Structure 1
Amino acid sequence: MASLDWLIVAVTSFTIFQIMFHYLSGRISVHLCKGFRALPDIKKTEWNSRVVSTFHALVVGLLCVYLLWFDDAVNADPIWGEPKLVKLNVGLTAGYLISDFLLILWYWNAIGDRYFIIHHLTALYAYYYVLGQGLLPYFANFRLIAEFSTPFVNQRWFLEVLGYPKTSMPNIINGFLMLMIFFLVRIAVMPVYYHKMISTFGSEAFYKLGLRAQFAWIVASVCLDVMNIMWMYKIGKGCYKVLCACKKEKADSQKNGKQR
């Protein structure tokens, strides 16, 4: 995929996600969710942002899995394999990241988050080498498997803003799935990723990258995974609080039943 081609993909992706945020999400949500209309504007802004985020995660995550299973050229040569389809996936993500980055700055009071700013800039820095020079296609695509956790993280927020109690069954089910999927696609895969990375050290293909690309690859990977560990801790802590609340609620219910 030539530079102009991936640029077209990124610009098209950016445009689609902007249209989804400003026009499609609100109009669709009004019909699909009765509670959306009653939300204050600041919550509607974040709602639209998370709808876009969920859509992006599903599209990119599914394409990521397809490439990991069926793109033989990239799997055979993780550093210099033919990156055509990976560039398509990364181009879609780059367009989304730029779109979301600008929305975060513009609607800072509603969706501002310094960790997302760091995350987006770090990812874009690393993806520059994939899109601009065709480097590290396997590793760039592998990172995108993490997107499968995003829909569950967003669903937790949707349930909360719609007034579902933390101890409600939808919240408990989603919380369990969120914890499990987040761990599987962001934490459990780390040994596989870094084993694959370390196995390339010292090879001709690795030295051919040059110091700048090596630095971008390693530093970006570590930074993103430090944030993943931080988020995993917060999710685990939140799930623990919900479990404690459920136990307390059950104990109170049994106590009240005995008193009657």
Structure 2
Amino acid sequence: MEDSTRFGYCVVAASFVGFQFCFSAVSPRLSLALCPPYCALPPARRIEWDSRCVSTLHALLVGSFCLYILWYDAAVNADPIWGDPRLVKLNVAIISGYLLYDLLLLGRYWKTMGDALFVCHHVAALYAYGYVLNRGVLPYFANFRLLSELSTPFVNLRWFLEAAGWPRGSGPVRANGVAMAVAFFSVRIAVIPTYYARVLAWHGTPEYARLGPAVQAAWIGPSLALEVLNLVWMYRILRGVYRACHAPRKQL
């Protein structure tokens, strides 16, 4: 095993432990100190609150790193299949640790937080990211998928507002609902043509052929599965925004 691959798995382990620590120790303490509504939540809701705090932290970290790579990593942008994957592998290792942590959390609290779509999403992503960690292939495309994390803070904020007692028709809920729909569409749906245009541009090239059938299947298969999930979630979000915008206007 190469040193960079060994380092990547160390980052996966550190990421897993770090996010678990944030869930178990950091979020409960900070939430109790800074968020009065947290104190009134029942235990099951506190678990999901802490989970979403960790999810937001992860999204901001990985999403910011993703944008940096897209804007400034010339090697990855020049050769999206075999470009220097060091920074991308680091980002993928962080998110892989998070996905493992989240799968464990879903299993422990399935009755409270269980969602089969999230399990499918996590498994598909881990399968594809495994090739990035092990072989360092497809750095641009792996990193491009991480743009989707930039919509997560808005999704979580919607839940926080609801848990804190904000009425569905209140101004903050409506504003966040619109922002969430715009962000989700921008980073998960609108980018689909750009992503697959780049895929088609490199399809059939010698660089693509070097991947081999297994990597090609691990690249395209999970990508298509994630698009289906994103479309399902986009529909759910639009339905929620519609209900919020047609709810009676209320203020706390």
* TM-score, scaled relative to structure 2: 0.97
Match of 2:207 in 1: 205
Residue from 7, 24, 28 that aligns with 1:5: 7
Number of aligned residues: 248
Residue from 98, 101, 104 that aligns with 1:102: 104
Match of 1:254 in 2: none
Residue type of the alignment partner of 2:93: G
Question: What is the CA–CA distance in structure 1 between the aligned matches of 2:247 and 2:29, rounded to whole Å?
Answer: 36
Question: What is the CA–CA distance in structure 1 between the aligned matches of 2:209 and 2:165, rounded to whole Å?
Answer: 54
Match of 2:226 in 1: 224
CA contact (8 A) 2:173 2:244 kept: no
4+ residue runs over 4 A deviation: none
**CA offsets per residue over residues 163-188 of structure 1, 9 Å max, x none?**
11001111011111101100000000
Aligned-pair CA distance for 1:161: 1.2
Match of 1:149 in 2: 151
Secondary structure of the 1:80 match is coil
Equivalent residues in 2 for 1:1-260 (5 A)? 2-246=4-248
* TM-score, scaled relative to structure 1: 0.94
Question: What is the CA–CA distance in structure 1 between the aligned matches of 2:214 and 2:118, rounded to whole Å?
Answer: 24
Question: What is the CA–CA distance in structure 2 between the aligned matches of 1:191 and 1:110, rounded to whole Å?
Answer: 36
Aligned-pair CA distance for 1:5: 0.5
> Structure 1: which 5+ runs fail to align?
251-260
Secondary structure of the 1:194 match is helix
Identity %: 51
**CA offsets per residue over residues 31-75 of structure 1, 9 Å max, x none?**
111010110000000011100000000000000000000000000
Question: What is the CA–CA distance in structure 2 between the aligned matches of 1:2 and 1:169, rounded to whole Å?
Answer: 49
Question: What is the CA–CA distance in structure 2 between the aligned matches of 1:245 and 1:37, rounded to whole Å?
Answer: 28
Aligned-pair CA distance for 1:2: 1.3
Question: What is the CA–CA distance in structure 2 between the aligned matches of 1:25 and 1:109, rounded to whole Å?
Answer: 21
CA contact (8 A) 2:169 2:246 kept: no
Secondary structure of the 2:57 match is helix
Question: What is the CA–CA distance in structure 2 between the aligned matches of 1:60 and 1:241, rounded to whole Å?
Answer: 31
> Structure 2: which 5+ runs fail to align?
none
**CA offsets per residue over residues 106-130 of structure 1, 9 Å max, x none?**
1111111111100000000000010
